[in-house]
Structure 1
Amino acid sequence: MSGRYSEHDHEHYERPRRRTRPRTKERPRYDDAQDGVVVTVDRGRFTLVVDGTRVLAMKSRPLGRKGVVVGDRVRVVGDTSGSEGALARIVEVAERETVLRRTADDDDPVERIIVANATQLAVVTALADPEPRPGLIDRALVAAYDAGLQPLLCLTKADLAAPDTLLATYRSLGVPWVVTRRGGDLAELRERLAGRVSVLVGHSGVGKSTLVNALVPEAHRDVGLVNAVTGRGRHTSTSALMLALPGGGFIVDTPGIRSFGLAHVRPEHLIEAFPDLDEMTEDCPRGCTHGADEPECGLDQAVLEGQADPDRVTSFRRLLAARYAAY
């Protein structure tokens, strides 16, 4: 017998042919699918809220490598009873209205989506223990403006230090803020969060989990301590978790971060978040970055003519520099 294999080799026998099933362009309609929202992701399993019920689901094969993240609005089929052992399938992911991203470093080409469909980014910063780090605040603000989210500065531990110095840095940007203290009244913060989907980001130890437990008592998020030697907190949250607020709206608690890479942000788009400054750059030379070292930037002329607030221009340029400099 000629050929590579003899009749005694198992490779000789005909293998099942590929694509034996008829191909079709018709896709399942999933008329019986239900709407849900992804509230947390854990090792390839997704916890959803479907009609008020927490449902465990997996991603269906047709979605391929399409990522599913916290905040995604999805359609699911299968067992959505939420009972023990039940597992549903995510079959569709709705188009996202907003996407909050970050990269590990400024030169990291891989984007990491933190949450989808949020409306507000609350940057949680302690006034002391640990000391505030304006670099991270600036970077988080850049990410918020790039994603089209309303920024909110949430200052914690006001019983340990006064907020005036830090707030002076951001007043010219028009960033809304709220100050909290241990055991204090959170009415103002609740008002800022009501009716929104707010993402809480910040360093470990700044009090995010403490705030979450106060806002949503049944959350039971672990609370960590700040290391007295390094001045840094211990990670207590390992994955993002979306929680419903009693008064309406949602918060997304995220793991503490040590850096906020902005490789995904195009610097020329940052000024679009400041319409008043953007219109003052119409006569800038082609290729102007609007940075402090640009010789003929329209922002400088606007400051000289009294049309622009110099503190606001300085603050904008600080954010612009944060996009370029490694944190």
Structure 2
Amino acid sequence: MARYTDHDVEHYERPRRRTRPRTKERPAHEDAVEGVVTTVDRGRYTLLVGDNVVMAMKARPLGRKGVVTGDRVRVVGDVSGADGSLARIVEVTPRSTVLRRTADDDDPVERVLVSNATQLVVVTALADPEPRPRLIDRALVAAFDAKLSPLLCLTKSDLADPEVLLSTYRSLGVPWVVTRRGEEREILGLDEVKQRLAGQISVLVGHSGVGKSTLVNALVPDAKRQVGHVNAVTGRGRHTSTSAILLPLPADWGEGGWIIDTPGIRSFGLAHVQPENLIEAFPDLDEMTEVCPRGCTHSEAEPECGLDEAIAAGEADPVRVTSFRRLLAARSVTDY
């Protein structure tokens, strides 16, 4: 005898899992508009869509794909910027550049800091706190690896002579600007800084206490970034920025441009950087490595490196090669 009769609901076959036909077709989102991510905070994204500041979340089809400050995105939903409104990011357009770092040198996970930047500005104080050349070296390595133009911004030149530090980096051909504090904490030397930033998308990095937030407030008066202080005992600054933020440069500059202020860094892991990527940032030296044996890292310890042969033949500047190898060694230096 059958367990169920035709009148029992259990008689009818229940829908089975995975019986719904799957499709690879996805919505085209033809009504999506373009925007740029200005900051990220705990899964919520602040966008600039036209003249509107819009809050958004990431659409589920994007999965685990990260969205970072500087990303150009396509958005659907309410993009009016009204209080309580929430849009949805449905696509991240291809990035032109990506600035990465790892937490430590043995960390296999790369973390994307910002995207679509054109210039990396390494901000360092000449005193109070003291410069940290090895951290500067690491930031420069990250810039060369990401194909960003580097720029050294030396602050507080009223406390120390910038030439001491500049002599270390002049052979690398890295441009620099120098600022100093005037009366009533006024920042002097901003005109040259503005010339370097105009028309660029510049990422500002530096360890805490170097005056990065003060510089941002001087360049973009509406930024209102919190300014910290340097601990008199440890000589280190206190973190005042908690996330990267994209800020438009004032319209009266004429050439447009953006700056991305990032939180103060105390480490800059470079596990993702390969020697062959770094040498490409120095075309004159890269040409001399064509005779290197396979697998040559171009370090000072390599027995048959083409850079050493070029120095012996008088074809390479020994100071420039030494400076390049210092950057190369910065990938594995843990004390910085």
User: One fold, TM greater than 0.5?
Assistant: yes
Task: Note the 1:1-327 alignment, pairs <5 A.
Answer: 17-19=16-18, 21-182=20-181, 183=186, 184-246=188-250, 247=253, 248-327=256-335
In 1: Cα distance, 2:288 partner to 2:99 partner = 28
Provide Cα deviations, 1:256-277, integer angstroms capped at 9, x if missing partner. 0101000011123211111100
TM-score by length of structure 1 reads: 0.94
Q: Classify the secondary structure of the residue corresponding to 2:242.
A: coil
Provide Cα deviations, 1:271-324, integer angstroms capped at 9, x if missing partner. 111110011111122222111122221111211222111110000000000112
Greater displacement, 139-148 / 12-21: 12-21
Contact 2:98 2:116 in 1 (8 A): yes
Contact 1:37 1:72 in 2 (8 A): yes
In 1: Cα distance, 2:325 partner to 2:24 partner = 52
Q: Classify the secondary structure of the residue corresponding to 1:218.
A: coil
Contact 2:69 2:113 in 1 (8 A): yes
Cα pair distance change 1:325/1:185, threshold 3 Å: closer
Cα pair distance change 1:190/1:305, threshold 3 Å: same
In 2: Cα distance, 1:26 partner to 1:138 partner = 47
Cα pair distance change 1:80/1:165, threshold 3 Å: same
In 2: Cα distance, 1:116 partner to 1:135 partner = 24
Contact 2:74 2:92 in 1 (8 A): yes
Contact 2:178 2:189 in 1 (8 A): no
Paired residue total: 320
- Gapped runs of 5+ residues in structure 1? 4-10
Provide Cα deviations, 1:69-122, integer angstroms capped at 9, x if missing partner. 011100000000001000000001001111000011110111111001110000
Displacement of 1:13:
11
Q: Classify the secondary structure of the residue corresponding to 1:170.
A: helix
Provide Cα deviations, 1:34-86, integer angstroms capped at 9, x if missing partner. 00000100000000000121100000011111110011100000000001000
Q: Classify the secondary structure of the residue corresponding to 2:228.
A: coil
Amino-acid identity (%):
78
Contact 1:78 1:87 in 2 (8 A): yes
Once superposed, what is the RMSD of the aligned Cα atoms?
A: 1.9
In 2: Cα distance, 1:122 partner to 1:70 partner = 16
In 2: Cα distance, 1:14 partner to 1:87 partner = 42
In 2: Cα distance, 1:40 partner to 1:141 partner = 24
Cα pair distance change 1:20/1:56, threshold 3 Å: farther
